[in-house]
Structure 1
Amino acid sequence: MDFIPIALFWGLALIGLFGNRSLLIYLFFATMPFGSFAVFPTAMTMGLTFTPTPIVACILFLRTFINGRAIKFGLSALFAPRGLLMLTAFWAVAVLVTIFSPRFFAGHVIVVPMKVTRFFQSGFLQPTTQNISQIMYLTISVITVVTFARLMIDAKQQQNALKGLCIGGGLAVFTGILDLSSHFIPLDWLLDPFRTASYVLMTDVTLEGGTRRVVGLMPEASSYGALCTQLLTLVYFLRHAITDHFYRQKVVPVVAALLLLFVWLSTSSSAYVALVVFGAFAGLDFLWRAKKARRGTRAGRELELEFWVVAAVTAIVFTGFVARPEIFDSLFRLFDQLVLKKTSTSSFEERTFWTLTSWQALLDTYGLGVGMGGTRASNEVVAVLSNTGFLGGLLYYGFALQSMLRRAYPGDVVNSALVTGLRWSFLPGLTAGILAGTSADFGMKNAFLFGTMFAAAIVSWHNRRKSLATPPKSVDTQNVPA
């Protein structure tokens, strides 16, 4: 049975490689919810797990940079100071640290292994296969940034990517429904062929009170909650850049509402906090658009609709709370258990141990870091710093800040909406990463975000130059009213 999904994946990937490139873009987002699926049998890869999205990203890279002009663009972008130079430097530092630190500091620095198999597990730093897999994933993330920097210059591929986000969100919901249903009806025959990763999969966890955690086809509930939150923020904030009326008005609201529901069902405390941050930024985004929108325009009508939808939902919830407050008791207990009392749980204690051990490993290596895959943290910032050193962390977060400061030409409506939406969507994901991020690899979602920001800024810059180069129309001063 395991052969069937692998064959299906490679069949679609090869069609995209030799046929329609747009299929690869859709496949990139559609495979994101399959985080526990190994596209190569792990027996063939020395136990390493290669999930589908990074493999699609590699194929999309090959398909995009198949000619000299595209290669020239990629090299120029990677080494341009105002382009991706800091990202290139971050990758180079990560490679050097990964080659030398696990060998130079072997047996002298305490770390938490990436493949944790025991409670509060730690050991001495030494070279492992995780160094290879993590540096490979980071390399794939970097080339994915360059790929989307090239692809998203094309308006057609830009819209394909935005529709692909909706498809990825829909599949995240669908896999969540399957996992939720498997608690009541036997669906192991359908789910198990997609749960073939070599790392530990926590797919059957029950909270106090009997609440089952929904994990979809991700390794654990926290990663599924993070995925749903990331897709929710991207779909919600980028909807204004979608030109297809059906997707923008019909598909996005349904997908966003269902993703919101399954973030809750994931019972991930980090996803809940990220959801609060998302809500805050959604409110700020609403106020920002309300300030600029004019009554009677499409933007004005959308704002009015959003206001009345939120008002109606709030009124229904408030009425239900007043009439039957006991209905919400189970929700309050769940929130109290997962968020308010999180610091008293063994999971929180272990994750804090990971982060503190990784931070100490950074200090024990004099700020050089232990190399990619050298230690596991439960904080994205500590993971980046402990794996790549203070220099690597400075370069990566410097590049992230540079990306967030990129601007679009105000006259370019679609790219302005794209840049604004990407800015709003970055911080909720960063919040979730700070609370539960285990790897220094910034991942496929951020790779898409960074590459698209760069492409949108380039297109807007060219559009601005074009508009300035166009001579103004001559004015008949005799007919100008006084």
Structure 2
Amino acid sequence: MSLEPIGIFTLVLGLYCLFAGYHTSIVVFIGLSVFGAAAAILIGSANIQPAHLFLAFLALSVLTYRDKFNIALKALSFPKPGFWLACLLIYGTALGFFAPRLLARMTDIIPLGVSEYPSTGRTVPLGPVSSNFTQAVYVSADLLAYVLILAIGSTMAGFRAITIGVLVFAGANAFFAVLDIATYGTGAQDLFLYIRNAQYTFHDDDVVAGVKRIVGSWPEASAFAGISLASVGFTGTLWLCGRDLRWSGALFLVTTLLVIRSTSSAGLLALPFCFVILYITALFRSGGQSGTRNSSAIVLFALPLICLVALVIALNDALFRQLYDYFDLLIFSKSTSSSAVERGSWNTYGYQNFLDSYGLGVGLGTSRTSSFLFALLSNVGIPGTIMFLLFAISAFSKRRGTPRTFTSDIRLAARNGCACLMIGAMVAGPTVDLGLVFFILAGLSSAEPDGETLTAPSTRYMTAKVS
């Protein structure tokens, strides 16, 4: 076991936040979630990321309050979303222990564990892998993060602090992406060594058609684009709802451009679907006394603007050819590339694992796929898939009440952020674990603060004091 420099930094931050209070802790925790390629502690082949290490400090600062502990505990009761997520964790963990042993060599898997097998995409007979344990730990962290968000979000001050934390994450994610481009162009990539120290397979120097692929603080371009979709959905919805225009609009625009520039096929495929979600949001948020100018403007001008841009591109042959070649390389011809064929075979083997396990799954963390849907089916089967669906339905169901309050707008933004992240995971998600950011947003979508304020859209609510 080794404590890395970023781990020491995380420990210092954790000790400071124990005294600063859980409102500060939650902002720091969500901000640390941006370090997806970093390991605070290395234990064999396992990586403990900074956010996962800091989660212990967050839990200590929150659960020592009796009322917060009771809220977190209540979140695990039937039929709350936390109950179904806990069921998924218990079922997947138990299956991860028994299935690889009881069904040993009955099917071939693409292994997820990197300590036993190199990440070559080759199949091996079904058997226990180290990721049975690590994935159980990650999903446990997801569950803990979800219930802590609910506990903190039970007050308006906590709810605002979580919202600020998500915006900090979106800003930090965009900052590291821009820094990634800048350091590659100046030969200063060594600046990223301290936050790219996890035992993952990195693709931080890949170039496509002479363009450097953006990875930011993540291991590869698809991971960066996938997590950035959550920022697109969250900040885009805030802008449409007229909340904090100064920051949310800028972050939405910058993050969208970075996803396009990332050269990630998964990001480019998912982005139009994210825009559809935002356009539908604009339709419901436009018109009437509760409508916003941004939503109305999008509804009125988005389609004509798209048609105008398409016409300009069609009339400019050189521009059309450049754009066509770019999207042909990344999307249109992608299905025939060696990487696409390989990833498609991962899903084929994942589905075969589902069939060979009689629909029960081969265990949490056992097999690697290239789509979240196939990851669910292959790892936790029909029972686990149903549990996740029950969690999602109950967590993202719309709350009754006044539709244009501060909390309702933030919940809507959180739901859209989760939906956009889920779309990206459906395209290229390798595991059942959707990451801390997804469950932070899911918790924000489910949170019920003790007061409703700021019923009208405000551009300055972030200046409110978080106490």
Q: Same fold by TM-score, threshold 0.5 exceeded?
A: yes
Q: Does 1:173 align with 2:174?
A: yes
- Tell me what 2:334 maps to: 342
Work out the CA distance in 1 between the residues paired with 2:206 and 2:152.
Answer: 40
- Tell me what 1:478 maps to: none
| Structure 1 residues 141 and 87: alpha-carbon distance in aligned structure 2, compared to 1, 3 A threshold | same
The Cα shift of 1:425 comes to 3.0
- Tell me what 1:437 maps to: 429
8 Å Cα contact 1:79/1:88 also seen in 2 = no
Work out the CA distance in 1 between the residues paired with 2:39 and 2:123.
Answer: 27
- Tell me what 2:245 maps to: 249
2:359 to 367, 375, 393: 367
Alignment of 1:449-468 (within 5 A): 449-456=441-448, 459=450
8 Å Cα contact 1:36/1:219 also seen in 2 = yes
Q: 1:141-198 deviations in whole A, cap 9, x for unaligned?
A: 0111111111111111211221222221111111111211222212122111211011
- Tell me what 2:462 maps to: none
8 Å Cα contact 1:58/1:140 also seen in 2 = no
Work out the CA distance in 1 between the residues paired with 2:158 and 2:240.
Answer: 16
Q: 1:293-329 deviations in whole A, cap 9, x for unaligned?
A: 33xx7x4434456568858975984685377442343
Q: 1:46-82 deviations in whole A, cap 9, x for unaligned?
A: 1211222233333322221113333222222202324
Work out the CA distance in 1 between the residues paired with 2:398 and 2:382.
Answer: 24
Q: 1:181-225 deviations in whole A, cap 9, x for unaligned?
A: 222212122111211011211111122x32221111201010011
SS at match of 2:213: coil
Q: 1:242-293 deviations in whole A, cap 9, x for unaligned?
A: 86xxxx12111111111011101111111112210111111111111114x3
Q: 1:408-436 deviations in whole A, cap 9, x for unaligned?
A: 42267122223333333333222211110
Q: 1:125-144 deviations in whole A, cap 9, x for unaligned?
A: 22222111100000000111
- Tell me what 1:276 maps to: 272
Work out the CA distance in 2 between the residues paired with 1:81 and 1:318.
Answer: 48
Q: Does 1:380 align with 2:353?
A: no
Work out the CA distance in 2 between the residues paired with 1:353 and 1:136.
Answer: 27
Work out the CA distance in 2 between the residues paired with 1:230 and 1:341.
Answer: 27
Work out the CA distance in 2 between the residues paired with 1:241 and 1:151.
Answer: 24
8 Å Cα contact 2:68/2:151 also seen in 1 = yes
Work out the CA distance in 2 between the residues paired with 1:399 and 1:24.
Answer: 26
Work out the CA distance in 1 between the residues paired with 2:14 and 2:305.
Answer: 42
| Structure 1 residues 199 and 165: alpha-carbon distance in aligned structure 2, compared to 1, 3 A threshold | same
SS at match of 1:84: helix
Structure 2 spans left out of the alignment, 5+ residues? 453-467
Work out the CA distance in 2 between the residues paired with 1:234 and 1:278.
Answer: 10
Q: Does 1:210 align with 2:207?
A: no
Work out the CA distance in 1 between the residues paired with 2:340 and 2:328.
Answer: 14
- Given the two structures, how large is their TM-score scaled by the length of structure 1? 0.86
- Tell me what 2:455 maps to: none
- Tell me what 2:463 maps to: none
- Tell me what 1:420 maps to: 412
1:71 to 65, 69, 72: 69
- Tell me what 1:225 maps to: 225
2:347 to 355, 360, 369: 355
Question: Given residue 424 of structure 1, which amino acid in structure 2 is its aligned partner?
Answer: N
Work out the CA distance in 2 between the residues paired with 1:183 and 1:84.
Answer: 42
- Tell me what 1:144 maps to: 145
- Tell me what 1:37 maps to: 38
Count of aligned pairs: 447
Work out the CA distance in 2 between the residues paired with 1:412 and 1:287.
Answer: 14
- Tell me what 2:82 maps to: 84
Alignment of 1:90-129 (within 5 A): 90-114=88-112, 115=114, 117=118, 119-129=120-130
Work out the CA distance in 2 between the residues paired with 1:444 and 1:121.
Answer: 29
SS at match of 2:184: coil
Alignment of 1:19-58 (within 5 A): 19-40=20-41, 42=42, 45-58=43-56
| Structure 1 residues 316 and 160: alpha-carbon distance in aligned structure 2, compared to 1, 3 A threshold | farther
Work out the CA distance in 1 between the residues paired with 2:241 and 2:15.
Answer: 30
| Structure 1 residues 242 and 135: alpha-carbon distance in aligned structure 2, compared to 1, 3 A threshold | farther
Which stretch shows the higher mean deviation, 28-37 or 232-241? 232-241
SS at match of 1:35: coil
Question: Given residue 232 of structure 1, which amino acid in structure 2 is its aligned partner?
Answer: V
Work out the CA distance in 2 between the residues paired with 1:431 and 1:177.
Answer: 24
Report which of the two structures shows the higher radius of gyration computed on alpha carbons.
1
The Cα shift of 1:32 comes to 2.8
Question: Given residue 401 of structure 2, which amino acid in structure 1 is its aligned partner?
Answer: Y
Question: Given residue 101 of structure 1, which amino acid in structure 2 is its aligned partner?
Answer: A
Work out the CA distance in 2 between the residues paired with 1:62 and 1:103.
Answer: 37
| Structure 1 residues 11 and 290: alpha-carbon distance in aligned structure 2, compared to 1, 3 A threshold | same
Work out the CA distance in 1 between the residues paired with 2:414 and 2:189.
Answer: 37
Work out the CA distance in 2 between the residues paired with 1:308 and 1:21.
Answer: 43
Question: Given residue 432 of structure 1, which amino acid in structure 2 is its aligned partner?
Answer: G
Work out the CA distance in 2 between the residues paired with 1:83 and 1:195.
Answer: 34
8 Å Cα contact 2:265/2:330 also seen in 1 = yes
1:287 to 273, 283, 287: 283
Which stretch shows the higher mean deviation, 428-437 or 13-22? 13-22
- Tell me what 1:186 maps to: 187
Structure 1 vs Structure 2: percent identity of aligned residues? 22
1:264 to 257, 260, 263: 260
Question: Given residue 72 of structure 2, which amino acid in structure 1 is its aligned partner?
Answer: G
- Tell me what 1:10 maps to: 11
8 Å Cα contact 2:24/2:161 also seen in 1 = no
| Structure 1 residues 182 and 87: alpha-carbon distance in aligned structure 2, compared to 1, 3 A threshold | same
| Structure 1 residues 27 and 101: alpha-carbon distance in aligned structure 2, compared to 1, 3 A threshold | same
- Tell me what 1:477 maps to: none
| Structure 1 residues 237 and 58: alpha-carbon distance in aligned structure 2, compared to 1, 3 A threshold | farther
Question: Given residue 125 of structure 2, which amino acid in structure 1 is its aligned partner?
Answer: F
Question: Given residue 59 of structure 2, which amino acid in structure 1 is its aligned partner?
Answer: F
The Cα shift of 1:121 comes to 1.0
- Tell me what 2:60 maps to: 62
SS at match of 2:75: helix
Work out the CA distance in 2 between the residues paired with 1:240 and 1:31.
Answer: 27
